[in-house]
Structure 1
Amino acid sequence: MKAAVHNYHVRMQRVLDHIDRHLDEDLDLDTASGVAAFSKYHFHRQFTATFGLSVYRYIQLARMKRASYRLAYRDAQSVTEIAMDAGYDAPDAFARAFRQRFGQSPSSFRKSPDWEPWLAAFGPLDNARSKLMHKTYTPDDVTIRDVAPTPVAIMEHRGDPATIGSTIQRFIAWRKASGLSPKTSPTFNIFHSDPRTTPPSEYHMDLCVGVDRSIEANGELIEAGTIPGGRCAVLRVVGNTDNLEPAALYLYRDWLPASGEEARDFPLYCQRFTFFPEVPEHEAVAELFLSLK
């Protein structure tokens, strides 16, 4: 029975991965059911029963999420191009759908996103994706490395984690103005607070970029710092890298007590290697670092 359930979930996961990879293409019921190797006559009900929303609704939300990321974080594409990539025949149809879902026009969202309705709108999509994305980590997933010290430029985020998108926008704009492309300058986050136990107003996280020269602040509050070198337990996370909490819990709650190691006095941090929407969401990659004595 367990093997049958696992096989079923693998086939459904294959559908989600296919949708992620082909958001620019026609995605109909025949194609999705074929990827899952299920009868198209029953697949729609199976998908809805598994994920809590229809295939059509899931695809709509996935395209709209990618579009909203491109609006907020990528300025190379016009609103018209983003609308077409989201499956709309005309920008005004995209604008109506966007406003209905988020309470802002695409242009207004690009300039100053309101993140609270954005988070609420994607609740059903995040819930659907989490149904089959419970990663079970094992000690074999953790490696111990000696890492070199890394000089970084730091932009702090302080306050509600729900508003981190605004800080990310500023961080991306500052990096672009400073010529610090993610392709050549590594990206890190340092987690000073646990969002489960810290009041939202006191939450603290650093957005960092590795640097090898002095950096101009260009009107932003940018600090110079160093991620210290030394021994680290490293856990690689592939997919859903917006939520590193399960990986962090595994390191602290399960791996560390069983390992016989002792944590060093530096916050948990991660390095981000690939980013949504440049890659499909399930292909985003990050590594979580726990500093050891």
Structure 2
Amino acid sequence: MQRVLDYVEDHLDSELDLAALSAVAAFSKFHFHRQFSAIFGLSVHRYVQLARLRRASQALAWDRDASVTDIAMDAGYDAPDAFARAFRQRLAQSPSAFRKSPDWSSWLAAFGPLDNAKDKIMQIIFEKNDVAVLTVPDTPVALLAHRGDRAKLRESSERLRTWSAAAGLAPETGRPNFMVFRSEREPDVPEDYSVDLCIGTDRAIAAADAPVTAGVIPGGRCAVLRYPGNSNNLEPAALYLYRDWLPQSGEEARDFPIYARRALVPVPNMQAHEVVVELYLPLK
């Protein structure tokens, strides 16, 4: 099943029918679809459709040069109207409406089953040697504070992306970006969710740049854990650092939140597993 999920992500432009995927799994095609549904809670067809629609939604939001027709064809649809119907069914927006003003709350709900499926079999076992204690310098950043329901995080991400492109800090410049987690991933009250979205830069940030402000991620000693899995959910790595590594290390956490550093900013058609993510736990 792990091979199947990896194959789907790497071959979204190929024929992904039952025969092809059951062969990847080395299962009989007569049983494969039942096993897949039993493990992941959704059919093979729906999983493939969601994977293609997610890639299409990323292209709509971020690749302004691609036409809706081209995106529809890349998603495996023979006609734009069939693509539009499927897109509207899953995201409650037409492709053109999503491109103009994405509803990221609906996006998160629509594609949650993909991440849930991966999380069921991509359980990563961390060990003490996976953690390195490093001393890092102060890092000046452009910061956008997201406060409120995590379902609206994409809207904040899009605002920062738009600002960074206008400021000449687009992803292709290779600048690292950070997420400073000031609350748990799913607080009891959704509105208590709190995270700072940051891009590394020492350029001056003016009042006119609001809601983006200047900030600094303080340097010092940190426990660093590279996360090789689905970077949409870093909670397993954070739990390992806090629950397992820290009590056994003899170290003490510093008064600054845990944060993630991404070596690459995700771009259209880049999969989560292609983005190198490191989790930093500040130490005294």
Q: TM-score, normalised by structure 1?
A: 0.89
Question: How far apart are 1:116 and its partner, in Å?
Answer: 3.2
CA–CA separation in structure 2 for the residues paired with 1:261 and 1:13: 36
2:277 corresponds to 1:292: no
Q: Which residue of 1 aligns with 2:251?
A: 261
Contact 1:190 1:269 in 2 (8 A): yes
**Contact 2:141-2:215 within 8 A present in 1 as well:** yes
Residue among 220, 224, 230 paired with 1:240: 230
Residue identity (%): 60
Read off the aligned partner of 1:188 and give its amino acid letter: F
| SS state at 1:157 partner | strand
1:196-215 aligned at under 5 Å gives the runs: 196-197=186-187, 199-215=189-205
Is 2:44 the counterpart of 1:22?
A: no
- Report the counterpart of residue 177 of structure 2 in structure 1: 187
1:72 is paired with a residue whose SS is: helix
1:40 paired residue among 5, 25, 29:
29
- Aligned to 1:122, the other structure's residue is in SS state helix
Greater mean alpha carbon deviation, residues 119-128 or residues 143-152 = 119-128
Q: Give yes or no for contact 2:161–2:170 (8 Å, CA) kept in 1.
A: no
RMSD: 1.9
The number of residues matched between the two structures is 282
Distance across 2 between alignment mates of 1:187 and 1:86: 29
Change (3 A) 1:220 1:255: same
1:92 aligns with 2:92: no
- Cα distance in 2 between the residues matched to 1:219 and 1:193: 25
User: Does 2:123 align with 1:134?
Assistant: yes
- C-alpha distance in structure 1 between counterparts of 2:267 and 2:23, whole Å: 26
Which runs of at least 4 in structure 1 moved beyond 6 Å after TM superposition?
A: none
For 1:253 and 1:196, how far apart are their aligned partners in 2? 17
Once the 2 structures are TM-superposed, how far is the Cα of residue 198 of structure 1 from its aligned partner?
Answer: 5.7
Contact persistence 2:180–2:195 (CA under 8 A): yes
Partner of 1:5: none
* 5+ long unaligned stretches in structure 2: none
99 and 88 in structure 1: CA distance in 2 versus 1, 3 angstrom threshold = same
Change (3 A) 1:73 1:154: same
Q: Is 1:148 matched with 2:118?
A: no
Task: Give the superposition deviation at 1:211.
Answer: 0.8
Q: Does 2:64 align with 1:75? A: yes
Distance 1:132 1:287 in 2: 21
Report the equivalent of 1:6.
Answer: none
- Partner SS state of residue 170, structure 2: coil
Q: Deviations over 1:204-256 (max 9, x none)?
A: 21111111332456653121111111111011112311111111111111111
Aligned partner of residue 250 in structure 1, secondary structure: helix
Q: 8 Å contact 2:59–2:269 — kept in the other structure?
A: no
C-alpha distance 49-196 of structure 1, shift in aligned 2 (>3 A): closer
Name the structure 2 match of 1:167: 156
Q: Where in structure 2 are the equivalents of 1:217-228 lying within 5 Å?
A: 219-228=209-218
Q: Deviations over 1:67-110 (max 9, x none)?
A: 12222344342222221111111212111111122211111112
For 2:14 and 2:36, the matched residues in 1 are separated by 20
Matched-pair contact (CA < 8 Å) for 2:91–2:110: yes
Aligned partners of 2:3, 2:179: CA distance in 1, in Å?
30
How far residue 48 of structure 1 moved from its aligned partner, in angstroms, is 2.1
SS of 1:232 mapped into structure 2 = strand
Q: 1:15/1:87 Cα in 2 relative to 1: closer, same or farther (>3 Å)?
A: same
